[in-house]
Chain A
């Protein structure tokens, strides 16, 4: 039962352009969403998060959008840089009373070409 899905295994973008990574979820009880970035031989690094009460959160070049009615979130990276090349994981969490385990998608490999 894959509750968090990242349907694009990979994405290739030119340096300076926008990267858009997508994530869909099925459990309407999720109330907090996070994006992690992972380089080879390293653990996932927290990137940006959004609460279900918001529809947008921005941090520098990174913006996450949440569409609760569609159960969809996306991560926008503008402008994309070669150093952004990594695997990006979308993760979701249930409300606090159910604990805070993270449910991850399978990841999207982003390649930024210079």
Chain B
């Protein structure tokens, strides 16, 4: 049973550039959430996608955008990169947008983004 996968594993970008991160959810899951984890902190919620729509959003600027595809996979795009965007970006999947099963999110290994 394939778990949550993310690509790439590591990425180095320059300030002002744009980046796209990818996520494939756990088999059978249809909801994808993205989190940013800075060093020494817990993951912070960016946004969540269900049925190809953004359902919830955390306190992140519009430079952060996303997309969900019909096969439930998802992308996170960050424009005009800042040094402060350097972090581990985690994708999590769950089953359904509401209901008990939606609470338990399964995480991928993350993409380490470094902005220089």
Which range holds the interface residue count of chain A? Answer: 20 to 34
Kindly state the separation between the CA atoms of A103 and B110 in the bound complex, as whole angstroms: 18
Kindly state the separation between the CA atoms of A102 and B103 in the bound complex, as whole angstroms: 8
**A100 adjacent to B98 (CB under 8 Å):** yes
**A49 adjacent to B104 (CB under 8 Å):** yes
Chain B interface residue count, Cβ-Cβ cutoff 8 angstroms: 28
Say yes or no: A44-B43 contact (C-beta < 8 A), given A99-B55, A101-B48, A101-B56. yes
CB distance from A72 to the nearest CB of B (A): 17
**A32 adjacent to B103 (CB under 8 Å):** yes
Kindly state the separation between the CA atoms of A41 and B19 in the bound complex, as whole angstroms: 21
CB distance from A53 to the nearest CB of B (A): 12
Kindly state the separation between the CA atoms of A6 and B102 in the bound complex, as whole angstroms: 24
Q: Is residue A67 within 8 Å, beta carbon to beta carbon, of the partner chain?
A: no
Tell me which of B4, B42, B55, B97 contacts A43 (CB under 8 A): B4
Tell me which of A44, A96, A101, A107 contacts B107 (CB under 8 A): A44
Chain A residue nearest to B41 in the complex (CB) = A106
Say yes or no: A46-B33 contact (C-beta < 8 A), given A96-B98, A100-B94, A100-B97. no
Interface residues of A in 75-114 (CB under 8 A from B): 89, 91, 93, 96-97, 99-107
Tell me which of B40, B41, B58, B110 contacts A101 (CB under 8 A): B58
Q: Which residues of A contact B (CB under 8 A)?
A: 4, 6, 32, 34, 36, 41-46, 49, 89, 91, 93, 96-97, 99-107
Q: Which residues of B contact A (CB under 8 A)?
A: 4, 33, 35, 40-45, 48, 55-56, 58, 90, 92, 94, 97-99, 102-110
